[in-house]
Amino acid sequence: MPSLAIQGMQWGDEGKGKITDYFASHADLVVRTQGGNNAGHSIEHQGKRYALRLLPSGVFQPHVVNVIADGVVVNPAALLEEMDLLESEGISSFHLLLSSRASILMPYHIALDAAREQALGNAKIGTTGRGIGPCYEDRASRVGLRLGDLLVESYLKERLSEALAIKNRELAAFGAKTYTVEELLAWLEPARKRLSSYIIDTSEYLSHALEEGKKVLFEGAQGAMLCLTHGTYPYVTSSSPLCTAIPLNAGLPLTAVNHAIGITKVYCTRVGAGPFPSEIEGELAQKIRDAGHEYGTVTKRPRRIGWLDIPELRYVHRITGVKDSALMLLDVLGSVDEIRLCTGYTLHGKAIDTMPSTIPEVSEIVPTYLSMPSWKGDISHCKTYEELPLEARNYIEKVEELSGLSFVIISVGADRDATIVRKDIF
Ligand code: IMO
Ligand code: MG
């Protein structure tokens, strides 16, 4: 397959970083198409753990061209900080291209993210606080700046003053600090100096690369249930993490995405607010949280924990078409005595077969569970499917049967080697 998309199947933090890194060694290009530094992709490289936010996960492979495509929102200061951090670790020879159509995330977006959350009080979304929503709002309301604007100084100045005519009123209404054009031009100066040479029409570049038969990996950020349109709105992010949005977000035809692999974690997590049908609380949740290191990569917040949710997976399977998937963090469930699996939803006394489209409905779901015995023990040494304990294989096969997914990769530990590959798809 010349191109492959990585699809988070739940509420983000499924382990996309590890699988993207695994496939990146077979890829010519690794492309981010949406989101921004709200993403946190953990990767182990030469015994060290890195948390990438904006940079595509191909940066550890010197042969890979890393592309930040049109649909991404880029905080240039955060990008430079990430690049400097890698450089200080001796990782500086990576190739990077930035789309001239990608949005620039400005300091006032971060201020507005905080101000809005505060104004919402108990109804807050629990965002990552990185300004992602306000930046996408400006894109949609056409007062946003784009990376390409950095290339012509007079135009950049013009766009900034147009934006500030609106943004300063909003900031003042919230009692937040307002900005001058000069001050923001100064803030953008390091980016203009250091990033300009990477900024190109990535849509055109990617079209040529695909025509030449280059292998392209589309690195997903967030998860399907955080989709602005198809997730648990309003408790979602402000872009679409669905693989079906990739062609639009990269300026490519429908045929550009040949295949997608889902990334499914063996339990669910969610950071931030919003309904979560299979949520578990108390001691058991804490046990899984600790065993799975379920604390935010970006914000360090403890993640909410839930059992694997089959109706949720079936919903994502239906709206994305994803069938092949990686099953992540299987080793973590070796730490509990009994594993539960959410196999169905009941709403107002009736069984339902989909994720409802409104919050009042999702909040009132009563999940049905199936209990299965755990294998209770360490499986991180298992190199083949057959080596897995019978209880683990029974669990995997049950999930495959009920969800319609095929687990082509099974991750049994954080290390690159702790990965069982059942089918070669890229
Ligand atoms: P990766 O790529 C988990 C969540 C936030 C919040 C909601 C809106 O690491 O899987 P935002 O700052 O985007 O406006 O926040 O979306 N969220 C994520 N949760 N993993 C992510 O990315 C996320 N990106 C956003 O916690 O609930
Ligand atoms: Mg995350």
11 lies in the same domain as 95:
yes
pLDDT, tens digit, 9 for 90 and up, residues 329-348: 999 999 999 999 999 999 99
pLDDT, position 245: 98
148, 171, 195 — which closes off a domain? 195
- 269 beta partners: 305
Is the pLDDT at 77 greater than 80? The verdict is yes
Q: Is the CB of 128 under 6 A from ligand 1?
A: yes
Domain residues for the domain of 134 are 103-195
144 lies in the same domain as 39:
no
pLDDT, position 37: 97
Q: What are the helix and strand counts (H, E) for the chain? A: 12, 20
pLDDT, position 47: 87
Give the whole-angstrom CA distance, residue 109 versus residue 75.
Answer: 10
pLDDT, tens digit, 9 for 90 and up, residues 415-424: 889 999 999 9
pLDDT, position 214: 97
Nearest to 286 by CA among 335, 328, 222, 223: 335
Secondary structure of the chain: what % helix, strand, coil (to 5)? 40, 25, 40
395 lies in the same domain as 302:
yes
Residues 246, 202 contacting (CB under 8 angstroms): no
> Is 138 considered catalytic here?
no
Is the pLDDT at 354 greater than 90? The verdict is yes
Interval 391-406 mean pLDDT:
98
pLDDT, position 415: 86
150 lies in the same domain as 126:
yes
Side-chain-side CA neighbours of 192 within 13 Å: the count stands at: 15
Q: Is the CB of 238 under 6 A from ligand 1?
A: yes
188 lies in the same domain as 295:
no
- 279 beta partners: 306
Q: Which ligand is nearest to the CA of 240?
A: 1
pLDDT, tens digit, 9 for 90 and up, residues 126-151: 999 999 999 999 999 999 999 999 99
Q: Count of CB atoms within 10 A of residue 420's CB?
A: 21
- Percent of the chain exceeding pLDDT 90 equals 95
118 lies in the same domain as 235:
no
Question: Which residue in 21, 41, 70, 149 is the catalytic one?
Answer: 41
Supply the pTM of this predicted model.
0.97
Interval 92-102 mean pLDDT:
96
133 lies in the same domain as 213:
no
CA angle 224/228/229 to nearest 5° reads 90
Closest approach atom of ligand 1 to CA 129: 12
**Judging by DSSP bridges, how do beta strands 406-411 and 324-328 pair with one another?**
parallel
Mean pLDDT, the chain, integer: 96
User: Which two three-digit tokens encode residue 210?
Assistant: 């695909």
Is the pLDDT at 294 greater than 80? The verdict is yes
> Is 41 considered catalytic here?
yes
Dihedral over Cα of 418, 423, 425, 426: its sign: positive
Length of the chain, please?
A: 426
pLDDT, position 416: 86
pLDDT, position 192: 97
pLDDT, tens digit, 9 for 90 and up, residues 229-264: 999 999 999 999 999 999 999 999 999 999 999 999
Burial code of 313-330, b = ≥16 C-beta within 10 A, e = fewer? Answer: bbbbbebbebebbbbbbb
Interval 157-172 mean pLDDT:
98
pLDDT, position 422: 96
Give the whole-angstrom CA distance, residue 385 versus residue 400.
Answer: 14
Closest approach atom of ligand 1 to CA 41: 9
Residues 332, 298 contacting (CB under 8 angstroms): no
166, 195, 224 — which closes off a domain? 195
Domain count, the chain: 2
Tell me the pLDDT band of 175, cut-offs 50, 70 and 90: very high
188 lies in the same domain as 115:
yes
213 lies in the same domain as 189:
no
pLDDT, position 298: 77
